[in-house]
Structure 1
Amino acid sequence: MIKAKTRAWWRATLALCLGSFIVFINLYAPQPLLPGLKETYQVSTLGVSLLMSVSTLSLAIALLVFGPLSDAIGREGIMRITLLLAGGCSIALAFAPTFESLLLLRLVQGFVLGGLPAVAIAWMGDEFEKPALLSAVGLYIGANSLGGISGRIVGGGAAEVGGPTAAFLAVGIMTLVGCAVFWRLLPNSRAFTPQRFELRKAASDLISHVRNPVLLAAYCLGGINFLIFINQYSYITFRLAAAPYLLAASGLGLIFLTYLGGTFGSMISGRLAGRFSPAACMMLGVVILMLGTAITLADSLLLIIVGLTVNAFGFFLAHSLASSWVGRYAQGARGSASALYLVFYYVGASLGGFWLEPFWRWAGWAGVSVGSWLLLSITLIIAFGLWRFERRQAIG
């Protein structure tokens, strides 16, 4: 087993953080390109938003496929091959002749991007001692958000120079280079023991998690919150690309630096939950997300950026605690319970355009805010229900 802070630990952790960074660069690079792609292909805001939705939906499906598959055939091979295929998809996206082919490639890319997130933490669990695992997971999750920010900045900046083709080529080349480094750094597994895959048991575990109301509530809270949070960023690009802001793709990419507010929210979530309660802090996160949405209604670009930063803080505060709630209350099969949380999380992201599009057509960004508050009211009620459950548990 690999010990914390050793040479082997640093090498493996760096490899997995790089892999995570690559995944989220590819997943989110098209987001600042949406207004330009809308005009290029003459599609609706809902139609162009599908470029994000189909990839997150297929990634969610991939989590259910690659996780159990890795238990039978091993994990590092899945990570290496899927990262390589993801880079190939980005190169192909640069030369997609039609919007339909663009959508199909994003669907395929989303699926292969699910390979690493589905198995990376399980690989760490196989190879790392427990203290080494805890340290590595924190860095790995940090690489997720850094990759998401970087993908949008790289995509927007490259598009400013050479349009969407340059953006996809830049991300594709970065991915292939990073993949070569990943292949070299990642050690071969030494502690992995193949397990016979039993479809019936896997399905039974998933069904039991969904039937557990305490887990289902956390799944819905995470999924609905992400539905609103990530798709607000898509619609804000349409608002800021239009008058009076007229931001170019590079400027839209920089908007995603507001994600750093979420990094801070994740960092203090454990401290807040220790002082108060996880469910109470989930409620706080939802309220902050609602408040940030209200701030974005201002006409000032500075206040819009402040509102988005507040949104990121509130969302990641609630998300961090909801995901840890699943690990705490799952009755066995914690791996599949956590994977199911991510499935709800990414399915929620894929459905957000369908929910928010009618509100956008009705009243622009003000409509998106109303649509956001309606669903966030539901997650606030869910968090309140979890808080009451916590109180009953404490009394009992």
Structure 2
Amino acid sequence: MLAVLVVVIGVLATSGWLIRPDDRPADPRTAETAAWDRLVYGPDAAAQTSPAAVSRYFAGLNAASQRHLADRYPLVVGNLNGAPAEIRYRANRVALRQAIDVERRWLKTADASAWGARNGRRKVHRYESLLSSNRHILGFDPSGDGRAIEVIGDLDTAERIEIVVPGADNGLLNFERTVGAVTAPAGMARNLYNEIRAQDPGAKVAVIAWADYQTPARIGIGALTGALADRGAVRLRAFIRALPERARASVFCHSYGTVVCGRAAQQLPAERRLSNLTVMGSPGMRTDSAAELAADRVWATRVGDDWVGELPFVEFAGFGHGADPTGPGFGARVFGAEGAHGHTGYFAEGTDSLRNMARIALGNYTSVTCSNARS
């Protein structure tokens, strides 16, 4: 088994996964959250923080009061499951402007290391991009490596909601990219949305780039174990449970994000069962069978030159992520990904993988093409 772990670490290392330190300011949400809890919940916060309770709370406020709370507590309201989407968008615009101010002030001090200063400048650039008028940011947290959720489409009218869950090394700095845009969460979601609309221009659909968990930082124990996936699964389940009940929800998960989705789907309540759970380039989902996942249909794909295929699909003493979802015994429907290359090419334009994911999102299951290897 030691040899197995050496192989895993070796593959990750040769794929360019390296850790870099950073020296960011302390979590800016802590004091704001405490003040919010005192204002809204009083001593019985736990009983009042469910999405349904939050929704009722905001429904009892007039528009001016909702806007006031978004402006006063942006880091809370902007990440509050159950709050109206438009109010969360507003709150996150406020939070982004505040984060830009914080970074710019910090960059003028002598506290930033050379690496930290470079990251600070990159974060200002990222925040300014997220503030663009055509973007809808449903979640934003600048603490640590940062987290973000972006909605593409109209969440309030969507009949189908597709959630893209990315894998390792996807903090705020990597939420979108200029070069290799389709390898970043925002680019993945945008390409999926565009392909869905190309296949069905009238589709009432929203695609969400969900990078709202702490991902493994390139190589490290986090990528080899399920600890971060378990924490991310808690957040993903809470997010899915807060989605509008009228809409059918599906998840499209890549790389380590498939571990998060697997853990989340093992504990979803029956009333929030997923329509589809689709995985690409999965190292395993910490389950041996698609039947253990709360999804009507489970789909999987992996191309031949994806380095994940070289990993041992085992789980031992907490290391590894278990069975191969594309394996014949797992029970997933294996779909074609012709045209995709490498570990990050599944959402590229013109690929069978992207076309098939759009067909899955639209419910056009008989049009999904099979993998040539397992037709």
Using structure 2 for the length normalisation, give the TM-score. Answer: 0.24
Tell me which protein shows more strand as a share of its residues.
Answer: 2
Tell me which protein shows more helix as a share of its residues.
Answer: 1
Using structure 1 for the length normalisation, give the TM-score. Answer: 0.23
Q: Which has the higher contact order (CA 8 A, sep 6+)?
A: 1
